[in-house]
Structure 1
Amino acid sequence: MSTEVRVPTLGESVTEATVATWFKQPGDAVAVDEMLCELETDKVTVEVPSPVAGTLSEIVAAEGETVGVDALLAQIAEGDAAAAPAAKAEEPKAAAKEEEAPAPAPEAKGKDVEDAPSAKKLMAENNLSDVQGTGKDGRVMKEDVLNALSSASAAPAPAAAPRAPVAADQAAREERVKMTRLRQTIAKRLKDSQNTAAMLTTYNEVDMTEVMALRNEYKDLFLKKHGVKLGFMSFFTKACVHALKEVPEVNAEIDGTDIVYKNYVNMGIAAGTPTGLVVPVINDADQMSFAAIEKAIAEKGAKARDGKLSMAEMQGGTFTISNGGVYGSLMSSPILNPPQSGILGMHKIQDRPMAINGQVVIRPMMYLALSYDHRIVDGKGAVTFLVRVKEALEDPRRLLMDL
């Protein structure tokens, strides 16, 4: 008996994926729930487990191939089916295919080749019918439709300049690697953010003396009681939640000609991973304690590093915190995570001489940066938000008193 392995549901708004890696090959024995392959979408990596125990008899979608939701990936012969018969059957099957299939015309796409679902939708929305496909076997991809639309524009934007010629001795020392779908999506979303939002950044600095003292005093007790370390991110999350209540437009988004105010805070915590930047979301952070926030950050940070984040865990954020300080950044301008209207950039804590009550003293200082969408957030609101964050961190008692 043969069982089909198909592409699982990939999540909201995701209609296709690329087969990244096959962990098994035809003829290999597989156990129930053993990982067969890894799919790469434009947001997350999805592992596909074996639904049954048996022998992998056929791989239908090879590595690098683009597949849609519910597309056939492989066939598994259930039970103790021998690998040898499956291997023997491959030769006549391949020969039969060669006899049956006429040589495809190079100019046209075969009738059995499905265009990418996202491409078909875009073509229908823009009344396009004749688009040259660059995918496998002439398959029309979303990028092909976008290219056709941009070329048909009345005032075409200057395309990216072609790469300058490289000397032969230098070319041999270069390596060309195709961008992953995640990296392509990061690039597109960040560029879209720059093109869409009226982005502006305001800066301030915070004296971390009180937060560091409070953390050092209670970190051992905190760890003993809650089973998680007390870090700085929970302080910053709490401070941002406090400030967002006073300046709600930083927690809002633009929808057409409407402004959507959120009466809750889903905090995105930007995390660097080997494959790129992801932003897991902590839902209802405004209702959570320090311990709950630290546990959520630790859990989702580990998932991000292991590539185990689900689609739901990266959706619905209303505001984002990005900590470049862990990499040593002293100052930067974070870029908005659309459709959000604000993102706070944390930076390295560095001892600096400060004038306190007429005396020069050394204090642990951190630069803060708030990037915001000026279409919805005015300068007064942005500066007020950052000052409230600064005040809450320099005197954490304000968080307790809601001041």
Structure 2
Amino acid sequence: MDDDHQPQIGLDLWKTDRPETGWLHEVECELCRRCGTDSKVARQDLETFVTRVLAKHGVPAEEGDTVARVLVAADLRGIASHGVARLGRYLNGIEAGYIRPGVDIEVTEAAASIATIDARHGLGQVAAARGMNLAIAKAQQGGVGVVTVKNSNHYGIAGYYVQTALDKRLIGISMTNAAPLVIPTHGTKALLGTNPIAFGMPAARPPDFLLDMATSVVTRGKLEVHDRNHEQMPQGWAVDENGYDCQDPGHVIANLVAQAGGGILPLGGRGETFGGHKGYGLAVMTDLLCGVLAGSAYGRDVNDLKRELPKGEIAAPRVGHFFLALAPERFMPLSVLEQRVDAFITMIKRSPKANNSPQIFIHGEKEHARALAHEKSGIPIAANVLETLRAIATKCGVEPPRTLGGS
């Protein structure tokens, strides 16, 4: 990036509702490296493109709309690692037969507040949306809803589903297990997924509190972004097959694909000095809920497409999810809770700043600001991702996403 680079997103797009925050301008200026109009796409156009491509692969319109909304929501919030760059992954899964669009999802309601879902290897976003919506309905009816999902696929960003609960002014939790990419503390073999956790609680003023985090130092998507950009990754993200720090994202990804050893470090990093065992514990907790409790795959069996299969089974990722929705008015009036959350956030944001930092951020604040900006000015898409989307468009016989620059 040039030293004299001027961000191209106007300051007016970043005004917040919190006087203690003021302006949120270029939260991460790296997002602006490719922010010329020749790389920006309007949200609606991007969603329409994804839906049309999925339709060409036999995905029913309603399911395609759901997948498109989840993918584009990630790009809208600046989480490019989980956005439309992943479209090809889903198409490959459909073509290979382990992602089954249009399949009948089985729902079993074990109790008034509990349900289990067998996704039957359908699209992860579709099964997850069904699970979260069911948890929300149960919470609205009885105060709490808990839903597990088994035999699913990658479901995108965990925070998307929590946001649907927040939109209903409910507290929400969303978790999923994932393919083994993360080594356990003191180990050298990837046995755990990045296993994200999302939690949200409504506040009086936007944005609501929304924590969306992997239980690893980073996600695989972050490694892929660095690899696509031909950039070294920071030391402490991952280790090689011998357990040594590795800054070559391509090497780590290749090892993970080949199951050759090494992988991403758990949240907190190597060993226990900085709490790596805590991130490791959170990853195990997520897998216990999403894999073991849900009756789905867990640990190294998630996304194992080469395992020996019982007769009649298909090789599939068998990802598991866990959703919880909670009605806060069962504890106190909603307006009281929102004011209390707001007061807590304000207390944190008005506290002393370290090293001349301009402000302290609350989880979900940066993503909210980026979404407001990108909704108005367009979503920046990396050049290599645009190239891939155009190749997909040509193969499918649909119009490629139209950039705001006209190309």
Whether TM-score is above 0.5 comes out as no
Q: Bigger relative contact order, structure 1 or 2, given CA contacts below 8 A and separation 6+?
A: 2
TM class, shorter-length: under 0.3
Largest Rg, 1 or 2: 1
Q: Whose helix proportion is higher, 1 or 2?
A: 2
Q: Whose strand proportion is higher, 1 or 2?
A: 1
